[in-house]
Chains A and B, each alone.
Chain A
Amino acid sequence: MNRHAPWVWLPVAAISTSVYATTYLSVEQAQQTIFPGATFTQAFVALTDDQKREIERRSGVEVSNKEVRLWKVGGVGYFIVDEVIGKHEFITYAIGLNADGSVKQIEIMVYRESYGYEVRNAAWRRQFVGKTTGDAVSLNQDIRNISGATLSSRHVADGVRRVLATYVVALK
């Protein structure tokens, strides 16, 4: 191991944490990352009960929020901000769709994880609702290099399936 000498000796404090949050992109940054230089027009889409049921049937994923955070992108596609909640994670991500409804790009905007009762606690979840990334909760923001698995991407995959079904049912 001495050849690489990868460790640098510095004291590091032990940490006990139940919430961890990272913001990667604001809405505007995500827009410019997926559709550089494009113009965005926010559209307000509220799903009807019939649409909700149809989206759930097509995607196999429950629709928990009937409001779609959608922007039309100057003739080239759509930009949608969506959220998924896993057992320990809460992920906000942006998905860019081409004009034909195919996926252009997906970017994770905010990742939060927590354990135990907090996730199931509606009051705790509500503190995130309606927040912009500017006031995102960011406890222990400096703790980020965790070597240890998470299971996030399956939830994102489910979310993307639901968004694609939403496109077919409500936006197309």
Chain B
Amino acid sequence: MLSPSSSLRRARALLGTMVEIKATGADQVLSAAVDAAFAEIERVQRLMSFHDPGSDVSLLNRFAYKRVVKVDPMTWAVLARAHEIAKVSGGAFDVTVAPQLVKWGLLPAADGAADLEVKQDGYRRIELLEDCVRFREPAQLDLGGIAKGYAVDRAARALEEHGIRDYVINAGGDLRVGATAEAIHVRHPACPQRLIPVGMLRAAAIATSADYFTRKKVGGRRVHAIVAPSDGRPATPHASVSVVAAECMTADALTKVTALRGERAVSVLARFDAEGILIDYRGVRRLNSSLRSTASSSGVDAERALP
């Protein structure tokens, strides 16, 4: 006989945003499962926060150029994936662009960070050794473009380890869906209160990058949190980029690649078995899409939602 099951929805302020977990499963494990999922997210936050002086990221930024620094296996796993995506994308994803974000006031200033250079293939300054990390040259590491997705993946794993298969975890747009399909919406990039439906997602993750909440003007120029590593310039504004992938960590990082490369990101997306959704004044475009016959229906609906 099946045990009684119900649904639980909880939200906490974590990762600089609001994290919501919705889970359905057996009554006797549900609450413990959701607590365990939040605990995993808190753990990732403690390890990978740019703001927390005790995080692995802060320790690396302070000491890794001077000596080899031992990091938590979770931090190492994120750095390894970041390195892989950086390599495949020809440096479009780069965890060393923090100094530019500090200069624009989008990240708090750390000692000397703003003086550091943002350069093409800057990520190569970071060397991964066995459970340790070293910076070959001075660098400022920020995992803000990938750690949120990883936190969502860890939370999903915690739920699954408790036998929960139906869930949605949404960390400010980095979203992962369990075994049951869920309708997913993306905000209109020029008008964020309008929601554009992008489809029903199942057993996958979606992440979205857009500039509507981070953009500001610095020296008369519009800037936001997605920076081209090649020249430190912001990516094209007023666009929303979503990426669907099996893991939220991958989806999160690939949004930055797609924001910078646009339609040229398709080969990188294909390498990670991912799909891109670009929304701008031209409408909705899907890259490396698995939606075969549906482009003419959901795609057209979505375009109609644009002004």
Contact = CB atoms under 8 A, between A and B. Distances in A.
Interface of A: 1-18, 22, 24-25, 91, 93, 106-108, 111, 114-116, 143-154, 156-157
A6 B202 contact: yes
Chain A CB within 10 A, most for which of B15, B183, B244: B183
Given A6-B203, A147-B173, A148-B208, A16 B17 contact: no
A154 B16 contact: yes
Contact of A7 (B174, B199, B305): B199
A108 B298 CA distance: 34
Contact of A16 (B15, B182, B194, B203): B194
A149 B273 contact: no
B193 A18 contact: yes
Interface of B: 9-18, 20, 22, 168, 170, 172-175, 177, 181-187, 192-204, 206-208, 210, 212-214, 240, 242, 244-246, 273-275, 288-291, 293-294, 297-298, 301-302, 304-305
Main secondary structure of the interface of A (DSSP, over half): loop
Contacts of A149: 17, 172-173, 208, 210, 212-214
A111 B297 contact: no
Contacts of A11: 297-298, 301
28 contacts: A6-B177, A7-B199, A7-B294, A9-B293, A12-B183, A14-B197, A14-B305, A16-B194, A17-B194, A106-B12, A107-B10, A108-B13, A108-B18, A144-B170, A145-B175, A146-B185, A147-B174, A147-B242, A148-B192, A148-B210, A149-B208, A149-B212, A149-B213, A150-B173, A150-B213, A151-B17, A152-B17, A152-B172
Nearest to A152: B18
B185 A1 contact: no
A39 B17 CA distance: 32
Nearest to A151: B213
B14 A17 contact: no
A168 B185 CA distance: 43
Contacts of A2: 290
